[in-house]
Chains A and B, each alone.
Chain A
Amino acid sequence: MKRSTILTEKNRSRWATIFAAIILLPIGISAIGLDVSRDAEMPDVFLEPVDSKWENCIRDSTEMRFRHMDVLKEIRDKVIRYGIRDEVTLAGCGDCHQNRDQFCDRCHAAASVTLDCFGCHYYPESASERTAIPGGEVKNG
């Protein structure tokens, strides 16, 4: 009795297709995710200023909307590498935008972006959580 082998000359192209499909799977998933996130409801309230010591945001709102991650990284590298602490850091964002749930999580969830900030940096999820902890007045660090 003749058994079929896994890889023969004939079905080689079929295996190649399956292999390529597995390799390209992540790209496909991202494409679908992008499509879904376009339909998702994006929050339009970004700023809830609460008697803040800051008058304006550190950059104008268009730049913040599209480049906030880069802006934060630039400030981060300035602080960590060169000790220049002349700008508001991540903790300082909370002075105006007290509600992480609204300010960060909603949009990132809609865009399916996983944040790696708040495991280490403190940013209370809601304004009530901020006042609940002792010493919760997070100053510009």
Chain B
Amino acid sequence: MDVQFAKIEGKSTPYYVTVAVLALFSIGGFVATLVMHHHGLHLSGMTNRVPWGLQISMAIFYIGLSAGSLVVSGLYGVFGKMEYKPFARIAAYLAMLFLIAGLLSIFTDQGRVDRVFTKPFTYFNATSMFSINPGLYSGHIMICVFYLWALFKEKGTLTKITSLVVVLWAIGTHTGTGAIFAFVPRELYNSSLLPPSFVSAALSSGAALMICVIVFLFRATKRHLDEELIIWMGRRLLSIFLLVTLYLIMIENVHRLYLADSYEAGRFFLFGGSHSFMFWIGLITIGCVIPAILLFTSGSSSSSPDSSIRPISFRDMRSWTPSSWREWPATRSATWKFCRLSAFSG
């Protein structure tokens, strides 16, 4: 397969319209952020019961997309597969952009934005995942830039070496993100399966993002798209990552239900809580089962409807659920039996 890249000229009216619309969004977001920080974070709709809301969820969603698409991009170099070449560049580029979007989302979510760029450096806390992750994230962006440069210059060996680093680093990035939740003493967060399931969810959403972007771009610009490529990606990448994610989530919840210690917490999460429907409908049904059915039953060209569902639903629900998990200990303290008091022993 021979791939040719052509430079776009950026002269058409749709191009200018796109730029203008995006600029409007940015200005709106900037103003909204200023207003929110002048009046306090209650404008974001977060409460003392659910302290991490949509912004953190979106940040994790973006970081997942970034890590996922970077891994997909890196696969081109690692395995030297020419199938990946058409989207290796845009995947690495989008990985960079999505990570910046995620970091902006976290940044605007802080209560004291004025201190964010000074205090974490002056008073570095090596035990906090929030201190370790920025290192991973900024490294991620740097590696993206370097990898992009290597791709554009068509450096053979260098691309191969960089892509290996890129894949490992991207997995590390999202492991770190998962560890934010996993390394916390609460039943519904605390699980060593959380980081791996974050990673596999990120990989699946990265593959889905690529399918989306490529299908959209090629159709919008009326260029010829090799359908085989999309089907290959859907069948080989997306479906595998999807099943792995489903498997990890299943193990995590079964383990939780199995142990008497965390049975009540697991039951609350799956069936009792106010957000359980999100898990079942959002994560399991829309996020995993429907895409899986579409992927495995579809013919040659129907992977595109699936790809439009995937990245929006899956990671989003995956990361939305944590914010509702905090409700659990409050509710659990209302339950006599599970106010797990251990008698003081010496």
Inter-chain contacts of A7 with B (CB < 8 A): 10
Task: Specify the chain B residue showing the minimal Cβ separation from A116.
Answer: B114
6 interchain pairs, CB-CB under 8 A: A3-B11, A5-B9, A5-B10, A5-B11, A6-B10, A7-B10
Inter-chain contacts of B11 with A (CB < 8 A): 3, 5
Nearest-neighbour CB distance to chain B for A2, whole angstroms, equals 9
Chain B interface residue count: which class? under 10
Inter-chain contacts of A5 with B (CB < 8 A): 9-11
Nearest-neighbour CB distance to chain A for B156, whole angstroms, equals 28
Number of A-B residue pairs having CB atoms within 8 Å of each other in the complex: 6
- Specify the main secondary structure of chain B where it touches its partner: loop
Q: Complex: how many Å from CA A7 to CA B9?
A: 10
Closest 4 CB pairs of A and B: A3-B11, A5-B11, A5-B10, A5-B9
Tell me the chain A residues, 1-35 only, with Cβ under 8 Å from chain B. Answer: 3, 5-7
Binary contact track B1-44/A, C-beta < 8 Å → 1, others 0:
00000000111000000000000000000000000000000000
Interface positions of A (Cβ within 8 A of B): 3, 5-7
Nearest-neighbour CB distance to chain A for B40, whole angstroms, equals 12
Inter-chain contacts of B9 with A (CB < 8 A): 5
Q: Complex: how many Å from CA A49 to CA B82?
A: 81
Q: Complex: how many Å from CA A128 to CA B10?
A: 66
Nearest-neighbour CB distance to chain B for A111, whole angstroms, equals 19
Q: Complex: how many Å from CA A7 to CA B11?
A: 10
Task: Specify the chain A residue showing the minimal Cβ separation from B114.
Answer: A116
Q: Complex: how many Å from CA A121 to CA B233?
A: 60
Nearest-neighbour CB distance to chain B for A20, whole angstroms, equals 20
Task: Specify the chain B residue showing the minimal Cβ separation from A2.
Answer: B11
Nearest-neighbour CB distance to chain A for B190, whole angstroms, equals 30
Q: Complex: how many Å from CA A6 to CA B10?
A: 8
Task: Specify the chain A residue showing the minimal Cβ separation from B12.
Answer: A3
Q: Complex: how many Å from CA A20 to CA B116?
A: 24
Nearest-neighbour CB distance to chain A for B338, whole angstroms, equals 37
Q: Complex: how many Å from CA A3 to CA B12?
A: 9
Q: Complex: how many Å from CA A5 to CA B9?
A: 8
Q: Complex: how many Å from CA A5 to CA B7?
A: 13
Q: Complex: how many Å from CA A3 to CA B10?
A: 11
Nearest-neighbour CB distance to chain B for A12, whole angstroms, equals 14
Q: Complex: how many Å from CA A5 to CA B19?
A: 13
Q: Complex: how many Å from CA A7 to CA B15?
A: 13
Nearest-neighbour CB distance to chain B for A71, whole angstroms, equals 18
Nearest-neighbour CB distance to chain B for A14, whole angstroms, equals 17
Nearest-neighbour CB distance to chain B for A76, whole angstroms, equals 14
Q: Complex: how many Å from CA A93 to CA B11?
A: 64
Task: Specify the chain A residue showing the minimal Cβ separation from B19.
Answer: A6
Nearest-neighbour CB distance to chain B for A34, whole angstroms, equals 21
Q: Complex: how many Å from CA A120 to CA B11?
A: 54
Nearest-neighbour CB distance to chain B for A75, whole angstroms, equals 18
Inter-chain contacts of A6 with B (CB < 8 A): 10
Nearest-neighbour CB distance to chain B for A116, whole angstroms, equals 8
